[in-house]
């Protein structure tokens, strides 16, 4: 039988501190420069420079998929996936942030725009 | 005897796993992980083989109930479950003297999330997407790990 302690120990504190340090490092590692929105669908990839103000419609695997861009914030306004969980994820604005709709096979990612980064395709 | 205990604990873990799916308005990447209480309880009792088998069996049970056998969700669940149970067993076996339920549970939950993210990156997500969602999943893992630990500890103390 394992002799796991029942009270909180210094080791527990170390594990939690390590986890929090990892979370903090991941939170602060997002890019701070200009941003682009990349949308990946089975039909291809599209990129949009941010800030922008527009409504995008894509044909997802389960029906139309509509995303609204308002400045740096992207919100899913319509999707036809079974439970709409991608719309429930809330607005997307942080570099590195993403919304993934597995049933629709659509992925939205905000990329930090590095100076030397080559875009596959850019649409304005 | 092992089979009987496996059936009982798998049934309990599966019920908990199914029950948490009924909780509304949770983001798709956030699961309370109530079934991990069973794994943690068994590992804390030193029943490592049973803890491992229950984790695998409940993954298949949940996938069968929802008709998603070997779907991406099932593969994520299996990868996360295997990673977390292996870490849980290793910590209970080798570091039980300096860790309590809380440390073991948080480490297991973090490994669960990390394995799911690795699997997502291997299957279809980009590096940016994985790195973007990782801090939220790890933060949720710390909270759910502490919750599971509190429940498993309570059950363990009552049972002993």
Query: At residue A94, what are phi and psi to the nearest 5 degrees?
Result: -85, 135
Distance CA A74, CA A37 (A): 9
Helix B36-44 with B101-123: angle, nearest 10 deg: 130
ipTM over 0.90? The verdict is no
Greatest Cα pair distance in chain A? 64
Supply the pLDDT for residue B55. 92
Q: Which residues of B touch A107 (CB under 8 A)?
A: 124-126, 129
Interchain proximity B129–A109, CB inside 8 Å: yes
CATH 1.20.120.400 fits B2-159, yes or no: no
Interchain proximity B103–A94, CB inside 8 Å: no
Single pTM value for the model: 0.70
CA Rg value for chain B: 15
> pLDDT, tens digit, for every residue of A50-102?
878 888 888 877 788 888 888 778 888 888 877 777 777 778 887 777 888 87
* pLDDT surpasses 70 at A1: no
Q: Tell which residue, B93, B96, B95, B133, has the closest CA to residue B116.
A: B133
What are chain A's domains?
Answer: 35-112 (2.60.320.10)
Interchain proximity B128–A16, CB inside 8 Å: no
Structure tokens at A70: 């308002």
Residue B84: pLDDT band with limits 50, 70, 90: very high
Interface-testing mutation among A7, A10, A12, with chain B (most B C-beta atoms within 10 A)? A12
Residue A82 sits at the chain B interface (C-beta within 8 Å) = no
Name every residue whose Cβ is closer than 8 Å to that of residue B42 and which is 6 or more positions away in sequence: B9, B48, B50, B51, B54
∠ at Cα B24 (B30, A100), nearest 5°? Answer: 45
- State the SS3 of A70-93: EECEEEEEECCCCCCHHHHCCCEC
> pLDDT, tens digit, for every residue of A9-44?
899 999 999 999 998 888 776 544 567 888 888 888
Residue B27 sits at the chain A interface (C-beta within 8 Å) = yes
Supply the pLDDT for residue A91. 82
**Structure letter (DSSP) for residue A4:** -
């Amino acid at each position: 039988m394992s002799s796991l302690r029942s009270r909180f120990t210094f080791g527990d504190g170390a594990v939690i501190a390590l986890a929090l340090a990892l979370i903090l490092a991941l939170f602060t590692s997002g890019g701070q420069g200009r941003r682009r929105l990349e949308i990946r669908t089975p039909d291809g990839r599209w990129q949009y420079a941010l800030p922008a103000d527009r409504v995008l419609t894509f044909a997802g695997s389960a029906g139309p998929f509509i995303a609204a861009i308002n400045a740096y914030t992207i919100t899913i306004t319509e999707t036809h996936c079974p439970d709409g969980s991608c719309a429930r994820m809330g607005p997307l604005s942080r570099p590195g942030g993403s919304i993934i709709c597995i049933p629709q096979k659509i992925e939205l990612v905000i990329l930090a725009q590095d100076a030397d980064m080559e875009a596959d395709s850019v649409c304005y | 005897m092992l089979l009987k205990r496996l059936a009982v604990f798998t049934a309990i873990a599966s019920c908990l796993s199914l029950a948490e799916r009924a909780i509304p308005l949770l983001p798709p990447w956030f699961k309370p992980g109530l079934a991990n209480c069973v794994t943690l309880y068994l590992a804390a009792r030193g029943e490592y083989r049973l803890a491992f088998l229950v984790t695998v069996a409940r993954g298949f049970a949940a996938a069968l109930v929802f008709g998603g056998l070997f779907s991406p969700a099932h593969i994520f669940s299996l990868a996360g479950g295997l990673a977390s149970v292996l870490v849980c067993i290793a910590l209970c076996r080798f570091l039980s003297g300096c860790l309590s339920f809380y440390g073991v549970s948080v480490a297991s939950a973090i490994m669960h999330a990390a394995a799911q993210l690795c699997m997502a990156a291997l299957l279809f997500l980009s590096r940016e997407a994985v790195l973007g969602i990782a801090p939220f999943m790890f933060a949720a893992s710390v909270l759910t790990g502490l919750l599971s630990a509190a429940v498993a500890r309570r059950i363990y103390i009552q049972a002993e």
